[in-house]
Amino acid sequence: MDLDGDRSGLERASRQARTLRIAAAGDLHCCDERRESITSSLRALAGKADVVLLCGDLTTHGEPQEAAVLAEACGPLPMPVFAVLGNHDWHANRHDELVAELERGGLRVLDRGWAICELDGLQVGIAGTKGFVGGFPGSHLPDFGEPLLRAVYRETTQEVEALDHALREIALCQVRIVMLHYAPTHATIEGEAPGIWAFLGTDRLAAPIAEHEPDLVLHGHAHSGTFEGTIGSVPVYNVSVPVMGRDFWLFELEATATPSTPIH
């Protein structure tokens, strides 16, 4: 009996290729006037996506009733929905109410956090936070001067540290995805007026991405930006609805599922 051959055959059988289907969008700007279009676009994803990722600016003015529009649309979906918040979602300063409304619809809101779920035999790790401002080479906001300016810098520092921590927590997952609202690279804000780049994101967010090399990075916010960019070899996509010109973009990630061995 060829034990080595049997063993290699068992190993091949236990490792099966999978395709993870991801529906992503940012800047949905939900409100009552958009209820019908939001509902129809989300319901159309059933059977086409394994997971839905929403990259901030879920609402128009950050009001809980606007979040309810999205929650109602997501409630019947058969796949999990993860989201991060954006600047519009913070506008009314009703964060807790807004998040509670979203969670009533089954959405999982990641705020300087992470989640791990199993989808079609794959362990999928999602690191999610809003990110923040700070600029890119030639336009960096400094950690110097007036206390309010330094507070902005500290806020971004906390976002960067949270992203790094989340990526460490999902390091062993077979698929690793980063969700942001603000841009981590200037490549995906090309097309926006250079004078506002410092308020569209910061390459300070790129450091943990470059170190941990997730499979996919998604963000929104830059409505006139560029769809595709990279941080090193990591693909980065600006999935803002105005940039995509469609309600959702469907990504496919190939990975190998390794079933856990039963304990006897």
* pLDDT at residue 120 in the model: 86
Q: Helix (H, G, I), strand (E, B), or coil: what is residue 115?
A: strand
pLDDT band with cut points at 50, 70 and 90 for residue 262: very low
The alpha carbon of residue 89 and the mean position of all alpha carbons in its chain are separated, in whole angstroms, by 15
Distances (CA, A) of 32 to 37, 67, 118, 216, 239: 10, 10, 34, 32, 22
In three-state secondary structure terms, 244 is helix
Provide the pLDDT for residue 15: 65
Please give the domain boundaries of the chain with CATH numbers for all domains: 18-257 (3.60.21.10)
SS (HEC) of 127-140: EECCCCCCECCCCC
For 14-43, write each residue's pLDDT tens digit: 568 889 999 999 999 999 999 999 999 999
At 150-174, the pLDDT tens digits run 999 999 999 999 999 999 999 999 9
Helix (H, G, I), strand (E, B) or coil at 94: coil
Per-residue pLDDT at 8 exceeds 80: no
What's the confidence (pLDDT) of residue 17?
Answer: 87
Segment 100-114 shows an average pLDDT of: 97
Burial annotation 90-126 (CB, 10 A radius, 16+ → b, else e) = bebebeeebbebbeebebebbebbbbeeebeebbbbb
pLDDT of residue 264: 37
Q: What is the mean pLDDT of the chain?
A: 93
The pTM (predicted TM-score) of the whole model is: 0.92
Mean pLDDT (whole number) for 170-192? 98
Residues 109-125 have a mean pLDDT of 96
Mean pLDDT of 122-140: 96
Answer yes or no: is pLDDT of 6 > 90: no
